[in-house]
């Protein structure tokens, strides 16, 4: 689907976010990357634009839009700054969306207006030292004692978990045992999700990681030492935490695919501009067929990625099954971003190895797009299963 075929409200959103990305985000992107600083002023302005509320109803402070609108916004932000884009993506799809999908009315009224406005951020604490792709290996525990959940354990690689405006962490934890699926099998872990306010005693966001990329994105390991929250902070049905999270991931893969498409397209945009300006052996790089062919292949990847996430989003909005298509979109777009970043760095030559160059930042940033929210191998596994393999 071409951008020109978007409905008017989507097209207006794309143009608004594209202008914001160019005029507000891009000028400070390099500074925040070098300083490893969270772009608080940019996040605040995204909140004012309503971006954190895009897919939520107006009754909770949202914009009344949908997940496709979020993915389109992420594509535009991803063109110029993946750290800013992932802050929005994680704040919405991993932070606020679980509360909206599975929360009680009281939980929604308490948290969603703060999250949809961008005044506060929420994070989702799933990954652990021994539970990443195998989230069923969760070891963090939550036990009921005198009307409160007492949480002990550790999480890692958690986005938006330690900023000045982080207000909530949704934590997956083992809350008991389930009967074995087979008579001779072992008991299974009962995994539930629990809302933990960021100021809860016993909860600590440990020092931030020194990452390869996404340097302006906030990412921490977390620890829970007898962190107590009320029993009513259970999010959704007890024992359904893992299943609920998997459904959140299916939606999130569409959003990540939008972000990845933006990164892939951003590399194309930079290369087209550079190839026309840079001269070698007396003529612009754009006149060399080897360079123009490389950029043409980059554009083909970005176009394919865009079609893939548009298709998955349309299926989701139509109420049709979209799990496989979301996995396809995430796989295609993540690889497109990484492949385009590599080729863009080659087109730029030595300048592509200087962090001040946007393509250099895309080269460092894009690798995580093949890992986070489901690795490439997990996507291949899901696609294979859909084929009956």
Write out the catalytic residue numbers. Answer: 373
Measured CA to CA, the distance from residue 30 to residue 28 in angstroms comes to 6
Dig out the tokens for 368 from the structure.
């995580």
Write a three-state SS string for the chain. Answer: CCHHHCCHHHHHHHHHHHHHHHHHHHHHHHHHHHHCCCCHHHHHHHHHHCHHHCCCCHHHCCCCCCHHHHHHHHHHHHHHCHHHHHHHHHHHHHHHHHHHHHCCHHHHHHHHHHHHCCCCEEEEECCECCECCCHHHCCCEEEEECCEEEEEEEEEEEECCCCCCEEEEEEEEEEEEECCCCCCCCCEEEEEEEEEECCCCCEEECCCCCCCCCCCCCEEEEEEEEEEEEHHHEECCCCCHHHHHHHHHHHHHHHHHHHHHHHHHHHHHHHHHHHHHCEECCEEHHHCHHHHHHHHHHHHHHHHHHHHHHHHHHHHHCCCCCHHHHHHHHHHHHHHHHHHHHHHHHHHHHHHHCCCCHHHHHHHHHHHHHCCCCCHHHHHHHHHHHCCC
Q: Name the nearest CA neighbour of 217 among 32, 366, 26, 28.
A: 32
State both tokens at 160: 């938006």
Neighbours of 348 (CB within 10 A): 23
Question: Which structure tokens are listed for 331?
Answer: 């796989």
Tokens of 275: 């190839």
Which residues have a Cβ under 8 Å from the Cβ of 79 and sit 6 or more positions away? 18, 21, 262, 263, 265, 266, 269
**Token pair of 104, please?**
């009680």
């Amino acid at each position: 689907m071409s951008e020109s075929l978007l409905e008017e409200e989507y097209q207006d959103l794309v143009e608004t976010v594209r202008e914001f990305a160019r005029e507000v985000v891009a000028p400070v992107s390099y500074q925040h990357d070098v300083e490893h600083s969270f772009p608080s002023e940019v996040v605040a302005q995204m909140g004012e634009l309503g971006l954190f509320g895009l897919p939520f109803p107006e009754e909770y402070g949202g914009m009344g839009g949908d997940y496709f609108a979020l993915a389109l916004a992420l594509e535009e932000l991803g063109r110029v700054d993946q750290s800013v884009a992932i802050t929005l993506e994680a704040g919405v799809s991993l932070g606020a969306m679980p509360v909206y999908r599975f929360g009680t009315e009281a939980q929604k009224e308490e948290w969603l207006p703060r999250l949809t406005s961008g005044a506060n951020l929420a994070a989702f604490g799933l990954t652990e030292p021994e539970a990443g792709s195998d989230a069923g290996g969760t070891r963090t525990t939550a036990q009921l004692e005198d009307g409160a959940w007492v949480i002990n354990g550790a999480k890692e690689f958690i986005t938006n978990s330690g900023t000045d405006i982080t207000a909530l962490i949704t934590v997956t934890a083992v809350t008991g045992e389930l009967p074995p699926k087979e008579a001779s099998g072992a008991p299974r872990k009962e995994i539930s999700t629990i809302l933990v306010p960021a100021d809860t005693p016993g909860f600590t966001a440990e020092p931030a990681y020194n990452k390869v990329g996404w340097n302006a994105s906030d990412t921490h390991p977390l620890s829970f030492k007898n962190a107590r929250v009320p029993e009513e902070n259970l999010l959704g049905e007890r024992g359904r935490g893992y299943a609920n999270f998997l459904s959140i991931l299916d939606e999130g893969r569409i959003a990540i695919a939008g972000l990845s498409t933006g990164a892939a397209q951003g590399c194309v945009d930079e290369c087209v501009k550079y190839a026309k300006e840079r001269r070698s052996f007396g003529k612009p790089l754009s006149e060399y067929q080897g360079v123009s062919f490389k950029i043409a292949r980059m554009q083909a990847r970005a176009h394919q990625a865009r079609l893939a996430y548009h298709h998955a989003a349309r299926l989701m909005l139509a109420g049709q099954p979209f799990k496989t298509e979301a996995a396809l979109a995430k796989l295609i777009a993540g690889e497109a971003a990484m492949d385009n970043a590599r080729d863009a760095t080659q087109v730029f030559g030595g300048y592509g190895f200087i962090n001040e160059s946007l393509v250099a930042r895309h080269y460092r940033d894009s690798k995580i797009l093949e890992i986070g929210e489901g690795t490439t191998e997990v996507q291949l596994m899901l696609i294979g299963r859909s084929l009956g393999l």
